Amino acid sequence: MLNDPRVVRLFEVLTTSENARVEPVFAPRADGWVSYPEVEEQLGVDAAYAARLLEDLCRLGYLRREFHESVQFCPVCNSQDLKLVCRCHKCGSRYLVRKRVLEHKACGLCAPEEEFEREGTRPGGDAGPRFCPKCRSEMTLVGADYEDRGTRYRCGDCTELVEEPVEEWHCRSCRRVFGKAMLRYETLHRYAVNKAQLARLRVERIPKARVRDFLTREGYEVQETVHAVGRSGAEHEIDLLATKRSGPLEHRIVVGFASDEKPVESEEVIKLYAKAYDVNAQDIIMVASPGLSDDARSFAGHYHIRVFDSEQLNRADVELNV
């Protein structure tokens, strides 16, 4: 997967964009609910493949899955153009008004706050105590005399206090009406680049994919991580071995990759040259990150090894000139 030039291109787009994220779009279809247009366009794949790819890259640690939004939609036609209508569970009326409700602890009355009348004012201008409209007892302290039961709905037709009204969902697209239990929900996720992991990818995988893709376009047959036996009889592990045949003639290129926290030393250059010489390669390419030390660069020049660093190969306009 990480060898696919299209995936490499996708990472390049993500790392150069401002938010470095793949954003989802709600797009219901037979095999899923979400689309990632940027991925589909860059890779030339369908929505289902793009979603699976992003999950795979997430499992490998190159991306992080993040919550984007929850969407609700019609269970019949998948439209999000919905209207919520609340009804009284007793008489079915739509005439519902939100009210704050108090409960008098002594007599158990639950009623809208405005029905518990206040009388007079206290010293300092504070409102006076409340009085229960049922038993006319004074209510002074919340928690001791009465409780605040929060918000409920008062039906304007039958006066019923409704804690949870009946929900009806009306789809403006297909004109269907359905209850809350039938409403469909889906959670959409976006994917953010794991920059630490991607930095490693840019050093190790993207340059290799770049070189392999270039050599393939030039007509070479490219093998990765090859175990080749040289003229000396020794077996060598070669990062990339590119071969082009023209009649009885064969042209071989050995490509080596080396990385370190500091510039790569000459020992790596010498080992690469020894491998290439033993397998009878005509050209040698070395990709070094962050680059070569002065001595290593001198050896590379002596052995006619072409040297690139990973940042050079990450640029779209680089040419290897083989």
Within this chain, do residues 15 and 99 fall inside the same structural domain, yes or no? no
Query: What CATH number does residue 296 fall under?
Result: 3.40.1350.10
φ, ψ of residue 69 to 5 degrees: the values are -170, 160
The band of 275, judged by pLDDT with boundaries at 50, 70 and 90, is: very high
Parallel, antiparallel or unpaired: strands 235-246 and 138-139 = unpaired
A 10 A CB-CB count for 152 gives 19
A 10 A CB-CB count for 289 gives 21
In a domain, 68, yes or no: yes
Given this model, what pLDDT does residue 262 score? Answer: 84
Given this model, what pLDDT does residue 310 score? Answer: 66
Instruction: Answer yes or no: is pLDDT of 199 > 70.
Output: no
pLDDT in tens, 136-182: 888 888 888 999 998 999 999 999 888 889 999 999 999 999 998 99
- Domains in the chain, number: 3
Domain that holds residue 280: 205-314
In a domain, 108, yes or no: yes
- Token digits of residue 226: 């090859």
In a domain, 171, yes or no: no
Within this chain, do residues 222 and 286 fall inside the same structural domain, yes or no? yes
**DSSP assignment string, 80-136:** --EEEEEE-TTT--S-EEEEEEEEETTT--EEEGGGSEE-SB-TTS-B--EE-TTT-
pLDDT in tens, 73-129: 999 999 999 999 999 999 999 999 999 999 999 999 999 988 887 765 555 546 677
In a domain, 319, yes or no: no
Q: What percent of the chain has pLDDT over 90?
A: 55
Within this chain, do residues 242 and 105 fall inside the same structural domain, yes or no? no
pLDDT in tens, 179-192: 989 999 999 999 99
With vertex at residue 51, the alpha carbon angle to CA 46 and CA 57, rounded to the nearest 5 degrees, is 125
On whether the pTM is more than 0.95, the answer is no
